[in-house]
């Protein structure tokens, strides 16, 4: 199958201007001067999409999503549902990293792995984190290191909870041993080997991560902290960490644009910042005594929505914003074939509509998932 996307304003995510993209199979074969007629004259199946007046960019990578649901902090009835394929593709998301949260008892890593494989069969690219909030953390095999080496989809461990009443309150040394094990597993399997930290609203903020860098032989690139916008003080702490080489992640919400602008204005390292949806995770609310009040469910679409809202900001360039959901995420997760429109990379591409309100076209590994706003591929049990 040959697909040609012509006349689009291409962000790779750096701005390339008006370009033509040639897709052969599941890869980007060429960007630039593509002789369209030459390929149409071949006796092969070929399709041409005219993207004039529209932005063309890499498919979004969501590094933090609850593929089999999350929640449960309010009892069994508050366990959130699984993600469906079109929840992702309609959001322009073509690559995900699934994870567990608070519940490592009724939610299982084997179930998460199976869900990731199912979504991959349905058309997108999937990975998972082994573990959950707690330390010692659950694994599929005997240990975190073995999960990395033996299970192809495991590229990190997380989300490990710190500064949160729901964490296991591990010692610094216990956390250091976990990070080191993930680091070794990543080296031996040629994967990122990152430890992904859930940061709660506690007074310690990101202190553990600063101490890990100061007291242990741990590279900063192995630490990846999320939920950093719970307070201004926490964002300031994340800014300091980013300048030490740690990657930090904003969970998208209504104030994402303002927090990104704050992060940049106050010296945050922009190439070490990513965005995620926390999709299908619970959004629990607690009072000042830690009593559960209620919860909502996070939507994967929030990631696309807040990316676009921020891209329209006069404080940030589109390049800066698009990197937060593409190349920056690919860098921290060491997904060298993702997050960029470069020859040889996977053909994960979205084309925005003229008003930048929705991903009008979505290509995942060379396959049309959404075309001109119409969903072409649905999950096995979606109506």
Active-site pick, 103, 237, 278, 348: 278
For the chain, report the end-to-end CA distance as a whole number of angstroms: 27
Dist CA 225 CA 300 (whole Å): 19
203 burial via Cβ count (<10 Å: 0-12, 13-18, 19+): exposed
Structural contact between residues 61 and 338, judged by C-beta atoms closer than 8 angstroms: yes
Q: What share of the chain is helix, strand, coil (3-state, %, to 5)?
A: 30, 30, 40
Dist CA 311 CA 171 (whole Å): 40
Reference 371, options 4, 29, 49; nearest CA is 49
CB count within 10 Å of CB 317 equals 14
Which H/E stretch holds residue 296? strand 292-297
Reference 66, options 22, 27, 97; nearest CA is 97
DSSP 84-107: -HHHHHTTTEEEEEE---S-SSSS
- Is residue 271 annotated as a catalytic residue, yes or no? no
Find where tokens 């979205």 sit.
350
184 burial via Cβ count (<10 Å: 0-12, 13-18, 19+): middle
Dist CA 152 CA 139 (whole Å): 14
Reference 355, options 7, 53, 89, 15; nearest CA is 53
Reference 200, options 231, 226, 170, 162; nearest CA is 162
Residues marked as catalytic: 278
């Amino acid at each position: 199958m040959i697909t040609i996307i012509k006349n689009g304003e291409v962000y790779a995510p750096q701005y390339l201007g008006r370009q033509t993209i040639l897709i052969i199979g599941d890869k980007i074969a060429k960007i630039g001067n593509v002789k369209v007629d030459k390929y149409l004259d071949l006796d092969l199946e070929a399709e041409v999409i005219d993207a004039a007046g529209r932005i063309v960019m890499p498919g979004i990578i969501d590094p933090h999503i609850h593929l089999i649901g999350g929640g449960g902090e309010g009892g069994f009835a508050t366990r959130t549902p699984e993600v469906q394929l079109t929840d992702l593709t309609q959001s322009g998301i073509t690559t995900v990293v699934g994870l567990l949260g608070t519940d490592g008892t009724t939610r299982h890593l084997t179930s998460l792995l199976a869900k990731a494989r199912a979504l991959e069969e349905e058309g997108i690219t999937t990975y998972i984190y082994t573990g959950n909030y707690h330390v010692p953390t659950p694994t599929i095999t005997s240990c975190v290191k073995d999960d990395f080496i033996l299970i192809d989809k495991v590229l990190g461990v997380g989300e490990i909870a710190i500064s949160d009443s729901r964490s296991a309150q591990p010692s610094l040394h216990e956390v250091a041993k976990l990070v080191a094990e993930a680091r070794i597993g990543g080296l031996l399997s040629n994967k990122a080997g990152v430890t992904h930290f859930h940061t709660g609203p506690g007074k310690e903020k990101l202190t553990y991560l600063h101490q890990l860098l100061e007291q242990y032989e741990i590279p900063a690139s192995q630490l990846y902290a999320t939920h950093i916008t719970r307070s201004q003080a926490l964002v300031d702490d994340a800014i300091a960490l980013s300048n030490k080489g740690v990657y930090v992640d904003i969970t998208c919400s209504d104030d994402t644009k303002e927090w990104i602008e704050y992060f940049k204005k106050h010296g945050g390292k922009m190439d070490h910042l990513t965005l995620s949806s926390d999709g299908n995770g619970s959004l629990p609310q607690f009072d000042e005594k830690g009593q559960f009040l209620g919860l909502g469910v996070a939507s994967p679409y929030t990631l696309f929505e807040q990316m676009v809202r921020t891209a329209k900001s006069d404080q940030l360039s589109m390049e800066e914003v698009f990197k937060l959901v593409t190349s920056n995420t690919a860098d921290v997760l060491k997904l060298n074939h993702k997050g960029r429109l470069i020859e040889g990379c996977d053909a994960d591409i979205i084309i925005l509509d003229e008003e930048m309100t929705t991903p009008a076209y979505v290509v995942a590994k060379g396959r049309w998932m959404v075309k001109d706003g119409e969903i072409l591929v649905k999950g096995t049990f979606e109506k």
